Amino acid sequence: MKKIIFALIILTSTVLARKVVVKMATLAPQGTDVHAMLLELSQEWKSITKGKVRLKIYPGGVIGDERDMVRKMRIGQIHAAAMTSEGLSEIAPEFAGFFIPLAFQNYEEIEKVKESLFPELKLKMNNSGFELLSLNDFGWVHWFSTDVVKTPDDLKEQKFFTWAGDFRWEEIWKKAGYSPVPLASTDILTGLQTGLINAIPTMPIYALTQQSFGIAKNMLDLKWGVVMAGIIFDSKVWKRIPIKYHKEMKSVLDDILERNQKLNRESEKKSIKIMVENGLRVHSLTEKEIDVWVEEVREFQPLLKGDVIPEEIYNKVINLIKN
């Protein structure tokens, strides 16, 4: 009897070793380029591992917001996620270095900071039980609003989306004289439709995909920030995948992400063009008007350091961009 039980244990272990089903979540809606990218990655990894690794994708926030994804990864309900730096900062606060308003204005600055911070970020994630496989810029954030917003004072009159659960940002906005409304990202469109919010900081490609520009018909032509996105794994699940496949899996992932990054960069202008053709109004700023925004950010900079963005990371990012 003991021999039979032992044999069954060995057989079960062998079967489990043959196949690793990875439940991966993302906020990207079904049918978008990001969703298509993940489906392609699933097929490529399945081919590389001869069927031993299979990704099961949960798109469109069906698992919940990014904070929900992190929580569910920690308890083993899902095993991986494609998420923005908002979710990543829930694990390692250092990712908040990419949140500094108006800090990044071109792709060279983004790459410079990313290359410098990536080793530290990867180590921080690893120490928390996660494997950071990638980190790429995903798009520029602009203000979209139902009313025209051209100055900080205009924005102070709006009720705008901020991530639910991020109490630190909510408090900072309030201290700076703004009116943030915490919501799950999946509730943005409903919030706009009901008037709960009337402004959102988002990427043009998302404003188009989610059709939020149909209500928030004004876009401020100012690069408020950048969205960084990464793919992370539960370290235990990543280690279950035979190490002989890791290098090739990462290589394929890098190739797919590089193509997707280029596509995103090209798609931003196309997205704005399509939205303008369908009623979006884009408001450009003079240099003096931009200086007003820069001064506004400078004034609430002390509120950001320490509580929201680790001071060491904040200073490092600013110094890297300046130099």
Which residues are registered as beta bridge partners of 218? 145, 281
- Separation CA 12–CA 287 (nearest Å): 67
* Model confidence pLDDT, tens digit, residues 171-203: 999 999 999 999 988 899 999 999 999 999 999
Vertex 194 angle, CA 193 and 196, to 5°:
110
Scanning the structure block, which residue is given the tokens 């193509």?
Answer: 259
Task: Confirm if 191 and 197 have CB atoms less than 8 A apart.
Answer: yes
If we measure between CA atoms, which residue out of 66, 57, 60, 63 comes closest to residue 29?
A: 60
* Model confidence pLDDT, tens digit, residues 30-70: 888 889 999 999 999 999 999 999 999 999 999 999 999 99
| Angle, helices 311-322/107-127, rounded to nearest 10 degrees | 150
Residue 167 has pLDDT above 90, yes or no: no
What pTM was estimated for this model as a whole?
0.87
How does residue 3 score in pLDDT terms, banded at 50, 70 and 90? low
- Separation CA 28–CA 33 (nearest Å): 8
Predicted confidence at residue 244, as pLDDT, reads 96
If we measure between CA atoms, which residue out of 168, 172, 181 comes closest to residue 93?
A: 168
Structure tokens at 120: 């530290």
- Average pLDDT on 223-246 reads 96
% of residues, the chain, pLDDT over 90: 80
CATH for 2-322 is 3.40.190.170
- Average pLDDT on 107-119 reads 96
* Model confidence pLDDT, tens digit, residues 255-307: 999 998 888 888 889 999 999 999 999 999 999 999 999 999 999 888 888 87
Measure CA of the first residue to CA of the last residue in the chain; give whole Å. Answer: 71
Non-local CB neighbours of 86 within 8 Å, separated by 6+ positions? 66, 163, 166
Residue 72 has pLDDT above 50, yes or no: yes
Cα separations in angstroms, 311 against 94, 100, 131, 314: 10, 12, 25, 5
